[in-house]
Amino acid sequence: MELHSLIKKAEMTHELTEEELTLLLSASEAEEEMAEAADRVRKEYVGDAVHLRGLIEFSSYCRRNCMYCGLRRENENARRYRLSPEEILTLAKKAVDYGYHTVVLQSGEDIWFTVERLVPIIKQIKAMGVAVTLSIGERSREEYAAFREAGADRFLIRIETTDRELYERLDPGMSFDERCRCINDIKDLGYEVGTGCLIGLPGQSVESLARDILFFKSIDADMVGIGPLIPNPETPLGDVPIGDIGITRRMVSAIRLLLPEANIPATTAMETLLPHKGRELILRSGANVVMPNVTEGEAREKYALYPGKACVLDTPAHCRTCMETRIKAIGRFIGEDAGFRKHKR
């Protein structure tokens, strides 16, 4: 089937085979047409609203050692910090005052934040009347259950890659089955599940990216966040090439075509590679969510997964106005509700 027919098929049926996806992801000449089709599906299923999620990066301590990430435990140059519960709540309050309807709590895998410490924080943020998303990595089912009980609504945990062998090579000491166990537990406990992958891992094939999309579909992911790998010189993958911008964009469009109802963020990594235009490009290629950073002060700089992170020197207040202007400039508007997944089919 020619590329044009494949895109039509995806737009109409939201189904493609691994081979068909591989063809599209490999075809830079299909990129604009894919983005246009994805933009139509986005409009039809999730509308013109762009949902803003206020992101608090509350700890840069991590017990893991992912080969690509600046927070990995063996990075002795990483600047470690841990916000106090009071500091986290102050930032959450500010996020609410900026008008964000979701607060995302993200960190390295920092087990200082036990159930006893995190539960009251979740409860107090919930009491502010917003949705709470956690992005804190792998925990036991009991811990996930306690956070859910405390009111957490969503959980972001990327599979990173569905290539088991690659996953276990790049995330040493971590197991692919355990990652899947986490995702299953999170889903089973009634969280909205956000997952996703990195684009440009050394050894990652386009076929494997196609399988990533079929994985997101098979678990009926509520959110899918993907981004290009940005090599961090403080890590063993410091010298690999940056993830391909075109493939990342085609991935976003393909994800919208195959998971029409999903919430899809225009991620910071893409904005980092294409300053001042990455977010718009992705919002017009299928995405409908942005996660403005509300972390303040030194912590904002110290949370360095990769170098050159977009907007790191801006203030959260600046980000709020900046995002509003940019979203309006592309003919969209800021979502007025918490932006939960809406089931249409």
Residues forming the site for ligand SF4 (CB under 6 A): 62, 64, 66, 69, 71-72, 108-109, 137
135 vs 253, beta carbon nearer ligand SF4:
135
What is the DSSP secondary-structure string of 214-258? HHHHHTT-SEE--EE----TTSTTTTSPPPPHHHHHHHHHHHHHH
Separation of alpha carbons 51 and 289, rounded Å: 5
Do 59 and 83 contact (CB within 8 A), yes or no?
A: yes
Structure tokens at 55: 């992101």
* Phi, psi angles (nearest 5°) of residue 262: -70, 150
Query: What is the smallest separation between the CB atom of 197 and ligand SF4, expressed in angstroms?
Result: 12
Please choose which of ligand SF4, ligand SAH, none residue 130 contacts, taking the beta carbon within 5 to 8 angstroms, the exact cut-off set by kind: none
Separation of alpha carbons 123 and 145, rounded Å: 14
Query: What is the smallest separation between the CB atom of 21 and ligand SAH, expressed in angstroms?
Result: 20
Please choose which of ligand SF4, ligand SAH, none residue 269 contacts, taking the beta carbon within 5 to 8 angstroms, the exact cut-off set by kind: ligand SAH
Structure tokens at 79: 């600047």
Please choose which of ligand SAH, ligand SF4, none residue 201 contacts, taking the beta carbon within 5 to 8 angstroms, the exact cut-off set by kind: none
Query: What is the smallest separation between the CB atom of 91 and ligand SF4, expressed in angstroms?
Result: 19
30 vs 264, beta carbon nearer ligand SAH:
264
37 vs 267, beta carbon nearer ligand SAH:
267
46 vs 67, beta carbon nearer ligand SAH:
67
63 vs 342, beta carbon nearer ligand SF4:
63
Please choose which of ligand SAH, ligand SF4, none residue 113 contacts, taking the beta carbon within 5 to 8 angstroms, the exact cut-off set by kind: none
For 209, the enclosing helix (H) or strand (E) is helix 206-218
Query: What is the smallest separation between the CB atom of 191 and ligand SF4, expressed in angstroms?
Result: 18
Query: What is the smallest separation between the CB atom of 160 and ligand SF4, expressed in angstroms?
Result: 8
Helix (H, G, I), strand (E, B) or coil at 181: helix
- Could you tell me the CA-to-CA distances from 329 to 45, 271, 272, 277, 283 in Å, in that order? 21, 16, 20, 12, 12
